[in-house]
Amino acid sequence: MANFRDILNYFRPYWKLSIFSIAATSAYEIIDLVVPYAIGQILNILSNQPLDKPLQGAIATIAETINYPVGKPLALGVLLGLIFIVTVLRAPTQPWLTSWFHWDIALRARQDQNQKAIEKVLTLPIEFYDENNPGRISGRVARGVANHTWTYPEIAGQMIPKLFRVLGIFVFIWFVEWRIAILYLISFVVILGFTLKKLKRLIWHDNRLDKYMENTESRTSEIISNIKTVKAFATEAKERQRQKLRLERELAVVENRIHRGYVRLQTWQRTVIQFCVFAILGLTLAATVNGQITLGHFIMTLTLSSMAYAELEPISTLAEIFARRYTSMVRFHEFLQEPSGVDAVSLLEERHETAESPYKFTGKVEFSHVSFGYDPSRRVLEDINFLIEPYQTVALVGRSGSGKSTLVKLLLRYFEPNQGQILIDGQDIRTLDVGNYRRRLAIVHQEVDVFNGTLLDNLTYGRADATFEQVEEACRIARLDEVIQHLPQGYYTVVGERGVRLSGGQRQRLGIARALLVEPDVLIFDEATSSLDYESERSIQLAMRSLQGTRTTIIIAHRLSTVREADQIVVLDRGKIVEVGSHQELLSHGGIYHRLHALQETGELLS
Ligand SMILES: Nc1ncnc2c1ncn2[C@@H]1O[C@H](COP(=O)(O)OP(=O)(O)OP(=O)(O)O)[C@@H](O)[C@H]1O
C-alpha cells in the first residue's frame, strides 16, 4: 500500500534544492515581519515613547560609525531604511529564489514520474491489462501526476513558509507580551489540530470518490473502444443512463460528504479565528491601558496577530486542497508499485534500435509436462508434451477454449507454466533474456495492432533497419503489395488514428508482413487468416506454404483448410492433447479431428 512517504519520495531527487527554496521562501516570509515592528517603533518615536533597547544600541553604533548625532532624524532614517530593504530591495530577488525553484522541481519531477509510469506500462504483466482497461490506467496516471505537479509549489512555496511565518510571529509577540503569545499558540494548535482531524475523515470519502471516478472513466473508455457495438445494438440511451447513475453516485459523495464537510470546517474555522482576533484585541488593549506595553507594541501585536490569523485561512485551504488530491496521488503510487512482469529490468535496457538479438535458434521447440492455469486452482492446460522439430510447421487445433492461445502465450513467456518447462533448442526459455528471446519469435494475431503513422513505420516496427527491398519482399509474400498499389501515398500513407482505415484483411496482411520482416526463428499465426475472404485466405495460405520449411511455424486455426499441409497437427481438448499426427493420419484415426473436419467440409455433426 502506498502512503504519504511515497508522495515525499516523488520529489526525493531534488531534496537539496527543495530545502534551499523552502528555507529561502520562509526567510522572506519572516523578514516581512520587520515591517510592522519598524512601524511600531516609528509610532513610539512620534509619540515620544522609548525605543526597544536592542534598537537603541544599533542606532548608537550607526551614529558612531557615520559620525552623526543620535536623535529622532537618525532613528527615523534607520527604520525607514530597514523598511526599504525588506520591501523594495527584496522584490527583484524573491521570485528567482522562490517561485523559480518550486516550479522547476515540480516540472522536473513530473517528467521523471511520467517516465516511470510509461516504464511501468511497458513492463506490467499482461494479466494486468486483462483486468484494467486503458481509461482506468491513463486516468489514474494523468490525475496522479497532475496533482503532484500542482501540489508541490503550493506546499513548498506557500504552506510550509506560511507555517514558519506564523512561528516567527509567535516569537515576536513573545518578546512583547508572553501571555498573549501563549494564547496565540494555544488557539493555533487547537484550530490546526481540529482541522487535521476533520481532513482525515474527508480523505476517506475522497478515496471512495476516486474509485467511483475511475469506474466512470473506465466505462467511458470502454464505450469509446466498443463504440461500434454500442451503435450496432443501439444501446446509446442505456449507456447514457448507466453513466448518469454513476455520475449521480459521484455527486452524492462529493456534495453531501466532501463539499459539505469542507464548508462546515471553514465555517467553524472562521468563527473561531474571529473570536481569537477579538480576544487578542481585548487583552492587548488591557495591557496597553495598564501601561504594561507601549502604544507601538500595541499596534505591532495587533498587526502581527491579524497577519497570523489571516494566514490560518490560506494554510487550511492549502491543507484542504492537499487532502482532496491526496488519494489520487497515493493511487498513482499504488500503480507504480504494481509488480512488474518477468525480466522487467532487462526489457527496459537500452538497445540500439538495429541491434541483433544475440540468440539464433534452429527452432526446435519442446513442451515438457507443462501445466498452467490463469487461476492456479483452475488448470487450462494439463500435462502438455510435444516436440516441434526445426523448420516444421505445426498446427494447433481444437474447440474454442481448449487452450491453443494459452499455449502460445506460454511460449512467448507472457505467463510462466505452473509445472513443467518449455525448451527451445534444448534450453529452458526461463533461462533466456526475455527481450532477446522474444525478438527471435514473431506472432500475427487475429486483431493486428496498427500504430498511428505511415504504413512503412508500421511495417518496420520490429526492425527499423530493414531495407526497402526487404520491406517489399515481405509485402509481396503477405500479398500486401496489392493493397499498397491502391493507397494514395503508397508506403507513406498514414494509417491508424487519423489516416486511412485499413480493412480487417488488410490489417492482417500488414501483420504478416511485419512479422516476416523480423525474420523470426519461430513464426506464430494466431487465427491470422480468420478475417480474410476466401480468395485472400487462399493467397495467404500459398504464402504460408512458401514459408514452409524455412523456419518453425505454429499455426492456430479454426478453419482446418488452413492446416491441411502442416507437418504435424496437435489437437487440444479441454487443456489436454488428445491427438497428434498429419492430416491424413488424423482423418483415418477417426477422432475429434475427423469430426471437426467432417463438420467443416459437409456441415454434418458426427457423433
Ligand atoms: N487472461 C485470462 N484469464 C483467465 N482465463 C483465461 C484468460 N485467457 C483465457 N482464459 C481461459 O483459458 C481457457 C483457454 O483459453 P484459450 O484462449 O487458450 O483457448 P483457445 O483454444 O485459444 O480458444 P479460441 O479458439 O476461442 O481462441 C479458456 O477457458 C479461457 O476462458
Q: Judge if the beta carbon of residue 400 lies within 6 A of ligand 1.
A: yes
Pocket test for ligand 1, best of 128, 378, 380 (most atoms within 8 A of CB): 380
Specify whether the backbone of 414 is left (phi greater than 0), alpha (psi in -120 to 50) or beta: alpha
Q: Going by C-beta distance under 8 Å and a sequence separation of 6 or more, which residues neighbour residue 191?
A: 269, 272, 273, 276, 312, 316
Do 105 and 85 touch, CB atoms closer than 8 A? no
Do 18 and 26 touch, CB atoms closer than 8 A? no
For residue 403, report the distance from its CA to the centre of ligand 1, in Å: 6
Residue 605 has pLDDT above 60, yes or no: no
Residues 5-11, mean pLDDT to the nearest whole number: 92
Tell me which residue has its CA closest to atom 18 in ligand 1. Answer: 403
Do 134 and 221 touch, CB atoms closer than 8 A? yes
- The CB density around residue 227, as the number of other CB atoms within 10 Å, is 12
Tell me which residue has its CA closest to atom 17 in ligand 1. Answer: 405
pLDDT tens-digit profile of 19-56?
999 999 999 989 988 898 899 899 989 988 888 888 99
Confidence at residue 82, expressed as pLDDT on a 0 to 100 scale: 92
Domain regions of the chain by residue span: 4-336, 357-440+525-607, 451-519
Cell numbers for 395: 498446427
Compare 605 and 53 and report the one with higher pLDDT. Answer: 53
Residue 603 has pLDDT above 60, yes or no: no
Residues 185-198, mean pLDDT to the nearest whole number: 87
Specify whether the backbone of 104 is left (phi greater than 0), alpha (psi in -120 to 50) or beta: alpha
pLDDT tens-digit profile of 216-252?
888 898 898 888 888 888 899 999 999 999 999 989 8
Q: Judge if the beta carbon of residue 374 lies within 6 A of ligand 1.
A: yes
Q: Judge if the beta carbon of residue 530 lies within 6 A of ligand 1.
A: no
Residues 112-137, mean pLDDT to the nearest whole number: 89
Beta strands in 484-603 (DSSP E): 494-495, 522-526, 552-556, 568-573, 576-581
Confidence at residue 89, expressed as pLDDT on a 0 to 100 scale: 83
Distances (CA, A) of 543 to 95, 366, 441, 539, 547: 68, 26, 18, 6, 6
Residue 131 has pLDDT above 80, yes or no: yes
Q: Judge if the beta carbon of residue 131 lies within 6 A of ligand 1.
A: no
- The CB density around residue 326, as the number of other CB atoms within 10 Å, is 22
Tell me which residue has its CA closest to atom 8 in ligand 1. Answer: 406
Tell me which residue has its CA closest to atom 31 in ligand 1. Answer: 401
Could you tell me what percent of the chain has a pLDDT over 90? 40
For residue 400, report the distance from its CA to the centre of ligand 1, in Å: 8
Confidence at residue 6, expressed as pLDDT on a 0 to 100 scale: 92
Considering the segment(s) 4-336 as one domain, its CATH architecture is: Up-down Bundle (1.20)
For residue 216, report the distance from its CA to the centre of ligand 1, in Å: 28
* The one-letter amino acid at 533: D
Q: Judge if the beta carbon of residue 402 lies within 6 A of ligand 1.
A: yes
What is the SS3 assignment for 454-513?
A: EHHHHHCCCCCCCCHHHHHHHHHHCCCHHHHHCCCCHHHCEECCCCECCCHHHHHHHHHH
Residue 154 has pLDDT above 80, yes or no: yes
Q: Judge if the beta carbon of residue 497 lies within 6 A of ligand 1.
A: no
Q: Going by C-beta distance under 8 Å and a sequence separation of 6 or more, which residues neighbour residue 535?
A: none
Tell me which residue has its CA closest to atom 7 in ligand 1. Answer: 374
Do 131 and 214 touch, CB atoms closer than 8 A? no
Q: pLDDT grade, residue 495 (50/70/90)?
A: confident
Could you tell me what percent of the chain has a pLDDT over 70? 95
Closest among 504, 577, 572, 512 to 541, alpha carbons compared:
512
CATH of domain 451-519: 3.40.50.300
Are 4-336 and 357-440+525-607 the same fold in CATH? no
Distance CA 215, CA 545 (A): 47
pLDDT tens-digit profile of 539-579?
677 767 777 788 899 999 877 877 888 899 999 999 999 99
Q: Which of 43-67 are b and which e, b meaning 16 or more Cβ less than 10 Å from the residue's Cβ?
A: bbbeeeeebbeebeeebeebbeeee
Residues 197-201, mean pLDDT to the nearest whole number: 86
Q: Judge if the beta carbon of residue 399 lies within 6 A of ligand 1.
A: no
For residue 409, report the distance from its CA to the centre of ligand 1, in Å: 10
Cell numbers for 275: 473570536
Residues 581-589, mean pLDDT to the nearest whole number: 89
Residues 503-513, mean pLDDT to the nearest whole number: 85
Distance CA 173, CA 166 (A): 11
Residues 171-186, mean pLDDT to the nearest whole number: 83
Cell numbers for 103: 516550479
Confidence at residue 229, expressed as pLDDT on a 0 to 100 scale: 86
Q: Going by C-beta distance under 8 Å and a sequence separation of 6 or more, which residues neighbour residue 133?
A: 218, 221, 222, 225
CATH 1.10.286.10 fits 357-440+525-607, yes or no: no
Confidence at residue 496, expressed as pLDDT on a 0 to 100 scale: 74
Do 265 and 283 touch, CB atoms closer than 8 A? no
Q: Judge if the beta carbon of residue 143 lies within 6 A of ligand 1.
A: no
Compare 383 and 538 and report the one with higher pLDDT. Answer: 383
Q: Judge if the beta carbon of residue 568 lies within 6 A of ligand 1.
A: no
Pocket test for ligand 1, best of 402, 408, 560, 578 (most atoms within 8 A of CB): 402
Residue-averaged pLDDT of the chain:
87
Q: pLDDT grade, residue 418 (50/70/90)?
A: very high
pLDDT tens-digit profile of 468-482?
999 999 998 888 888
Q: pLDDT grade, residue 178 (50/70/90)?
A: confident
Distance CA 145, CA 113 (A): 7
Between 80-89, 198-207, 516-525, the lowest mean confidence (pLDDT) is in 198-207
For residue 405, report the distance from its CA to the centre of ligand 1, in Å: 7
| Ligand 1 atom having least distance to the Cα of 558 | 25
Q: pLDDT grade, residue 498 (50/70/90)?
A: low
Q: What angle do CA 448, 114, 134 make, to 5 degrees?
A: 35
Q: pLDDT grade, residue 143 (50/70/90)?
A: very high
Confidence at residue 606, expressed as pLDDT on a 0 to 100 scale: 52
Closest among 318, 278, 282, 32 to 172, alpha carbons compared:
32
Assign 373 to helix, strand or coil.
coil
| Ligand 1 atom having least distance to the Cα of 374 | 4
Confidence at residue 350, expressed as pLDDT on a 0 to 100 scale: 65
Tell me which residue has its CA closest to atom 29 in ligand 1. Answer: 401
Residues 329-354, mean pLDDT to the nearest whole number: 79
Q: Judge if the beta carbon of residue 405 lies within 6 A of ligand 1.
A: yes
Compare 15 and 341 and report the one with higher pLDDT. Answer: 15
Tell me which residue has its CA closest to atom 4 in ligand 1. Answer: 374
Q: pLDDT grade, residue 281 (50/70/90)?
A: confident
For residue 442, report the distance from its CA to the centre of ligand 1, in Å: 20
Confidence at residue 426, expressed as pLDDT on a 0 to 100 scale: 93
Confidence at residue 338, expressed as pLDDT on a 0 to 100 scale: 92
Phi, psi of 60 (to 5 degrees): -60, -45
Q: Judge if the beta carbon of residue 403 lies within 6 A of ligand 1.
A: yes
Q: Judge if the beta carbon of residue 404 lies within 6 A of ligand 1.
A: yes
CA dihedral defined by 27, 30, 36, 37, rounded to 10 degrees?
A: -90
Pocket test for ligand 1, best of 405, 416, 443, 559 (most atoms within 8 A of CB): 405
Residue 108 has pLDDT above 80, yes or no: yes
Tell me which residue has its CA closest to atom 10 in ligand 1. Answer: 374
Residue 397 has pLDDT above 60, yes or no: yes
